[in-house]
Every structure is written in C-alpha cells, then in structure tokens.
C-alpha cells in the first residue's frame, strides 16, 4: 500500500438514542491535508475516536490504509500518528521517558530511539525540558509533547484533533509549520480545527460536518465556491516583495478580476468573476507580470464566510 488513505463506510456512532455520527461515508487518499470543520458537538472528535478504536462503531466501518481499525487495530494504526482530545501524559515520567515509551511501542529500532525522540522534540521546541517531569509542565507544553508523540515513528497518516488548542501564538505557528512539513513528506493529515485561517493556510481539502452528518467534502476552492456565491473565487495573493501601484492597476484590468483589495504591501485579495477555471487563468496572467508571487490561496475569510453560511443553513 503506497498511497496513504482513510475511509469511512456508513460509519455511525450512537450514544444511547443520541446519534453522534450518522452514516459517514468518506474516502481520503494521498498525501494531503484535510481540515475537518464543524461546530461544537458536531461529531469531529467522535469520528477521530472511531478511527483510533477508542470507541466502537454502532455500525459501519473505519479503515486506515485499507485495514479495518476496529477489527485489526494494531495493524491499522501501525503507521499512524494520533492526537485525540488533549491526552494527559503520566505526570511523573519525564518528557524523554514518555516519548521513549511511545517510540518503543511504535517499533522505532532500539539504536535510533534516542535519535527519533530528539528529532520530534526539536520540532516542537521542547529540548530544554527533556528530563523534566511532565506533571510540572504547563498545558501548552504538554500539548507540544502530544504533538511530538504523534510524529514519532514517521507516520504515513496523521490524525489530529484540534492540535493547536492550548498553544501560544508561537506554538500554533510552529505546529502549523510542522504540519506543512509533514505534507511535503507524502503524509496524509486529517485534522479537526476551529481555526479557519489555520485550515485554509495548511489544508488542501475540507470536510464539513454538523449534527453527525457530513455536509461537504472536497478541495477548499470547490467547497467555497459551492456554498457561497458572493464570495466565489476570492483568493489571497501573497508576494515576496512589496507591490507597486502600477502593477496593481494592471492586475485590476485582468480578465476575470472583479475587484482588488490591498491588504498590505505584500498581500492583496482578488475577487474573481468565476470559479476554478477563472482562478487558473488569472494566476497564469499574474505570473507573467513577474511580481513575485509566493502564495495564491482562497482567502481565509472566504472559508469563514462559507463556514458561516453552511452552518447557518443546518440549524
């Protein structure tokens, strides 16, 4: 199995008569980051717990890399990193010990145990705390260790439940960088989050869920254009160098650009007249202008508008 994948087939979870997750069907395949959005109580954590066999499905199945998680948990999770709902770590162990434990369980070879622990600790910037007891650390520091534990053993699939919750702004941005790096290394990342800017910055696709039902799944641009007409094709363009007014003027005249809103010297939003095709055409023209484009993303406010309109509709 070369391409990492996760799949739910009619996945349903009931707590008594309450349906927390209802008939979820989704297949996510390949190296990408998928944001999992939905209001409080939508069923995000429930879904992720089903994918790690922390809870049993009432019906349906969850597969990772084609293996049923509930039937063959150990095999299914063999190359998976998970962080579900701010776990607590044994408070009297040190950071090093706790991470060594996870590394050993995941089967990191004995001679590279220390090395892999050091690697992930470096990533979450917790080197100075290696030999301190976890019970003496703040919540955010513990969350960094949880992130580190999820990264141990080079997982192909990474399941994260609000990974940046409890982190300081620097911590959030560091974890975002970690996730972007993971994406580059042929990983599949499935991540629940309430921070839409985070999702639109890191993720290629989004899945939206409410009241246990999947409402939308697809590339961010598609979902955005499907659910909010007025914001169809709002993209945020970022540049490596400040942009000149003359260039801005020229951009306004490009076919398909409805309006331009300057955010700062190196960023502006473009409101486009069409969907994905228009985006592609506009991007091609922008590149020719040679203004130093380093980013061309659906703007986070577009995702936010979509979010608000999707979840208003279902109340």
Partner 1 sequence: MEKLNLGKRNVVPNGARQILIMTKYTFLDYFRSRRFFVLLIIALAIGALLTGIVGYFRPASFITSVLAFYSSWWGTSVTFIVILSAVFFGGDAISGEFQNKTGYFLVGNPIRRSSIYIGKYLAAFIAAVIILAVFTVITLGNGFYYFGSSSIPYQFVESFILAILYTASALGLTFFFSSLFKSSTMSILTTIILLLFVFSLVSVLIESLANIQPTFILTYGAQVITNVLSNPYPPAVTTSSAGPGSHFILTVYNVGLSEGIAIMLVYFAVASVAGLLIFERKEFI
**Contact footprint for partner 1 (CB under 8 A):** 2-3, 15, 31, 49, 52-56, 73-80, 82-94, 97-98, 101-102, 104-109, 112, 133, 146, 149, 153-154, 159, 185-186
CB of 119 to partner 1, least distance (A): 12
| Helices (runs of H) and strands (runs of E) counted in the chain | 11, 14
By beta-carbon proximity to ligand ATP, the closer residue of 36 and 63 is 36
By beta-carbon proximity to ligand ATP, the closer residue of 46 and 200 is 46
By beta-carbon proximity to ligand ATP, the closer residue of 49 and 123 is 49
Torsion of CA 22, 23, 29, 33, to 10 degrees: -10
Q: Does 193 bind ligand ATP (CB under 6 A)?
A: no
Q: Which residues contact 158 (CB under 8 A, 6 or more apart)?
A: 80, 81, 82, 150, 151, 179, 182, 187, 188, 189, 190, 191
CB of 259 to partner 1, least distance (A): 39
Interface pick for ligand ATP out of 20, 50, 89, 206 (rule CB under 6 A): 20
Site for Mg ion in 44-83 (CB under 5 A): 45
Q: Does 38 bind ligand ATP (CB under 6 A)?
A: yes
Tokens 């980051």 found at: 33
Give the Å distances, CA to CA, from 51 to 22, 62, 106, 165, 301. Answer: 15, 6, 17, 20, 30
Site for Mg ion in 27-46 (CB under 5 A): 45
By beta-carbon proximity to partner 1, the closer residue of 94 and 279 is 94
With vertex at residue 134, the alpha carbon angle to CA 132 and CA 135, rounded to the nearest 5 degrees, is 115
By beta-carbon proximity to ligand ATP, the closer residue of 282 and 303 is 303
Applying CB under 5 A, the site for Mg ion has a residue count of 1
Residue 244 contact partner, candidates Mg ion, ligand ATP, partner 1, none, CB within 5 to 8 A by sort of partner: none
Residue 59, Cβ density class (10 Å: 0-12 exposed, 13-18 middle, ≥19 buried): exposed
Half-sphere exposure of 20 (CA within 13 A, CB side): 19
Residue 271, Cβ density class (10 Å: 0-12 exposed, 13-18 middle, ≥19 buried): middle
By beta-carbon proximity to ligand ATP, the closer residue of 215 and 235 is 215
Q: Does 45 bind ligand ATP (CB under 6 A)?
A: yes
How do beta strands 157-161 and 80-83 pair?
parallel
Structure tokens at 23: 């008939």
Residue 278 contact partner, candidates ligand ATP, Mg ion, partner 1, none, CB within 5 to 8 A by sort of partner: none
Interface pick for ligand ATP out of 7, 22, 46, 225 (rule CB under 6 A): 46
Site for Mg ion in 178-207 (CB under 5 A): none
DSSP-assigned beta bridge partners for residue 216: 208
Structure tokens at 299: 């703007």
CB of 31 to partner 1, least distance (A): 7
Q: Using CB under 5 A as the criterion, which residues of the chain lie in contact with Mg ion when the complex forms?
A: 45
């Amino acid at each position: 199995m070369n391409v990492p994948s996760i799949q739910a087939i009619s996945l349903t979870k009931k707590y008594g008569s309450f349906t927390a997750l209802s008939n979820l069907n989704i297949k996510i395949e390949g190296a990408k980051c998928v944001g999992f959005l939905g209001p409080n109580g939508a069923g995000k954590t429930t879904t992720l717990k089903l994918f790690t066999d922390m809870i049993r499905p009432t019906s349906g199945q969850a597969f990772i890399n084609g293996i049923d998680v509930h039937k063959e948990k150990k095999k299914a999770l063999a190359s998976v990193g998970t962080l579900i709902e701010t776990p607590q770590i044994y408070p009297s162990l040190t950071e090093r010990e706790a991470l060594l434990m996870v590394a050993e369980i995941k089967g990191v070879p004995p001679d590279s145990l220390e090395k892999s622990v050091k690697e992930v600790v470096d990533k979450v910037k917790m080197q100075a705390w290696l030999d301190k007891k976890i019970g003496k650390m703040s919540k955010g520091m513990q969350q960094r260790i949880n992130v580190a534990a999820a990264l141990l053993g080079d997982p192909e699939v990474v399941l994260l439940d609000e990974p940046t919750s409890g982190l300081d702004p620097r911590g959030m941005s560091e974890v975002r960088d970690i996730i972007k790096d993971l994406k580059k290394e042929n990983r599949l990342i499935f991540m629940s989050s309430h921070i839409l800017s985070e999702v639109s910055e890191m993720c290629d696709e989004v899945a939206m869920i409410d009241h246990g039902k999947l409402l939308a799944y697809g590339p961010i641009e598609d979902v955005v254009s499907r659910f909010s007409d007025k914001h169809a094709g709002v993209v945020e363009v970022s540049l490596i160098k400040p942009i000149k007014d003359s260039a801005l003027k020229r951009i306004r005249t490009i076919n398909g650009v409805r309006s331009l809103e300057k955010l700062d010297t190196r960023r502006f939003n473009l409101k486009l007249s069409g969907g994905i095709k228009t985006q592609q055409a506009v991007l091609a023209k922008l590149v020719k202008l040679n203004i130093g484009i380093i980013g061309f993303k659906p703007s986070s406010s577009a995702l936010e508008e979509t979010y608000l309109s999707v979840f208003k509709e279902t109340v």
